Amino acid sequence: MSVKSIATPVQPLRIKRRAERRFRSVKSRHVLLALSVSVLLFILFSAVAPGWMASHSPTEMSESILASPSAGHLLGTDQYGRDIYSLLVYGSRQSLLIGVGSVLIGGLLGSVLGLTAGYRGGWLDSLIMRFVDMMMTIPGILFAILISATLGPSLKNMILAVGLSTFPGYARMMRSQVLSIKSAPFIDAASTIGASHFMILRRHIVPNCLPPLIVMATIGTGTAVLISTGLSFLGLGVIREIPDWGYLLSLGRSYISVAWWISLFPGIFISFLVISINLLGDELRNLLEPRSRR
């Protein structure tokens, strides 16, 4: 064993590097956050006021069919000569509605079920959770297909389908969260004070369940867009004059060898939306930690 010269202040290199890396990662986290916020703002603006953001009318057919990206058509045109960029801008409203709407439905339903099962316990817990398990065995996309197919393709049904296929996850998560919080000493403390069940739920349990729920919901928004994309791709989506992103992606399929841009850019938009929402969700969770509040 070699013994190096003594009494030199030691600074293990590896540790130092690790510290540097951590510092750098803090910086890059901020950059990523700024990027994802701008992406989301862009999509949000597009959804609210597409007229301001688009370069062309989404229904306007130009003479250049299947034109590759150029100064005139930023992201190229499709087989009817429509501007892809403008189609994406106009389609964002639908994609966003599906994402947010289905998370609201799935998250709300799942949370209420999970909360009830976890807090009440006993036979009701078993009943609810077996139902949730049953729903979980059906693949989400299959379930969504089932609903879309039976209720017919419309925006409302699409939201319903995606929402219902995602609620079991929320229910499971909420239940386990409630169970762990329920055993915390401060719940005992609250009940020895005389607080009612409603009070304990409202003031202690729900607020403490929110952080993971918010993270899951943000991630869920991305997933919902993906599922709806899948449905549209299968032809079970909303068929309208202006296609949503998923449908646009599927439309480009037939021309993939001659006009890759029709499919590629919707794909990139979907990925950006999903990644941005996920990053934002992470950040939101950090903000909700009470320790980081001051």
Partner 1 sequence: MGTLLKLNQVSIDFNTRQGPLRAVHHINLEIGTGEIVCLVGESGSGKTITSLSIMRLTDYEGAVISSGELMFDGHNLASLSQKEMQELRGKRIGMIFQNPMNALDPLFTIESQLVDSILTHRRVTKPEARKLALELLQKVGITEPEMRLKQYPFELSGGMLQRVMIAIALSCDPELLIADEPTTALDVTIQMQILQLIRELKDTLGMSVLLITHDFGVAIEMADRIAVMYAGAIVEQGPARKLITAPEHPYTQGLIRSVQSYHSHSEGLYTIPGSIPPLQELPTGCRFHPRCAFASERCRQEEPVLALTREQHQVACWNTAEAGQAFAEYATHKETAAPINNLAALPAEDDLLVDIQQVTKTFPLRGSLFRRSKKAVHAVDNVSLRIYRRETLGLVGESGCGKTTLGRLLVQLEKPTAGTITFDGQDVSSLSDREWKELRRRMQVVFQDPAGSMNERWRISEVIAEPLHVHIDLNEQDRMARVKETMKLVGLNPDWHTKYPHELSGGQLQRVCIARAIILKPSFILLDEAVSALDISIQSQIVNLLKDLQRELGLTYLFITHGLDVVRYISDRIGVMYLGKLMELAPAEELFTRPAHHYTRALLDANPSMDPDHHAQSSISDIELPSPIHLPTGCRFHTRCPAATERCRTEQPELREIRDRHWAACHHPL
- Answer for the pair 107, 213: CB distance below 8 angstroms, yes or no: yes
Residue 235 as a binder of partner 1 (CB under 8 A): the answer is no
Residue 26 as a binder of partner 1 (CB under 8 A): the answer is yes
Neighbours of 254 (CB within 10 A): 12
Q: What gap in Å lies between CA 243 and CA 245, rounded to an integer? A: 6
- Answer for the pair 147, 160: CB distance below 8 angstroms, yes or no: yes
Amino acid 271 reads S
Residue from 71, 150, 241, 291 binding partner 1 (CB under 8 A): 291
Q: Is 106 helix (H, G, I), strand (E, B) or coil?
A: helix
62 vs 191, beta carbon nearer partner 1:
191
137 vs 185, beta carbon nearer partner 1:
185
Residue 62 as a binder of partner 1 (CB under 8 A): the answer is no
Beta-carbon-side half-sphere exposure of residue 46 (alpha carbons within 13 Å)? 26
Neighbours of 276 (CB within 10 A): 23
Where do we find the tokens 């909360």?
A: 115
Residue 27 as a binder of partner 1 (CB under 8 A): the answer is no
Residue from 38, 124, 134, 186 binding partner 1 (CB under 8 A): 186
Burial of residue 245, with CB atoms counted within 10 A of its CB: 0-12 exposed, 13-18 middle, 19 or more buried: buried
Residue from 93, 175, 204, 285 binding partner 1 (CB under 8 A): 204
Residue 33 as a binder of partner 1 (CB under 8 A): the answer is no
Q: To the nearest whole angstrom, how small is the minimum distance from the Cβ of residue 294 to partner 1?
A: 7
Q: Which x/- pattern, by CB under 8 A, does the window 136-175 give for partner 1? A: ----------------------------------------
Identify the sign of the CA torsion 180, 182, 183, 187: positive
Residue from 27, 52, 185, 198 binding partner 1 (CB under 8 A): 185
186 vs 260, beta carbon nearer partner 1:
186
Q: To the nearest whole angstrom, how small is the minimum distance from the Cβ of residue 112 to partner 1?
A: 21
Q: Pull the structure tokens for residue 258.
A: 């001659």
Neighbours of 97 (CB within 10 A): 18
DSSP 200-228: IIIIIIHHHHHHHHHHHHHHHHHHHHHHH
Residue 199 as a binder of partner 1 (CB under 8 A): the answer is yes
141 vs 282, beta carbon nearer partner 1:
282
Q: To the nearest whole angstrom, how small is the minimum distance from the Cβ of residue 116 to partner 1?
A: 20
Q: Pull the structure tokens for residue 188.
A: 């005992």
- Answer for the pair 280, 37: CB distance below 8 angstroms, yes or no: yes
149 vs 284, beta carbon nearer partner 1:
284
Question: Applying CB under 8 A, what is the total number of residues that bind partner 1?
Answer: 41
4 vs 257, beta carbon nearer partner 1:
4
Q: To the nearest whole angstrom, how small is the minimum distance from the Cβ of residue 132 to partner 1?
A: 20
203 vs 253, beta carbon nearer partner 1:
203
Where do we find the tokens 């060898």?
A: 257
Q: Let me know how long the chain is.
A: 294
Residue 122 as a binder of partner 1 (CB under 8 A): the answer is no
Where along the sequence are the contacts to partner 1 (CB under 8 A)?
A: 1-12, 14-16, 18-19, 22-23, 26, 184-186, 188-196, 199, 203-204, 207-208, 290-291, 293-294
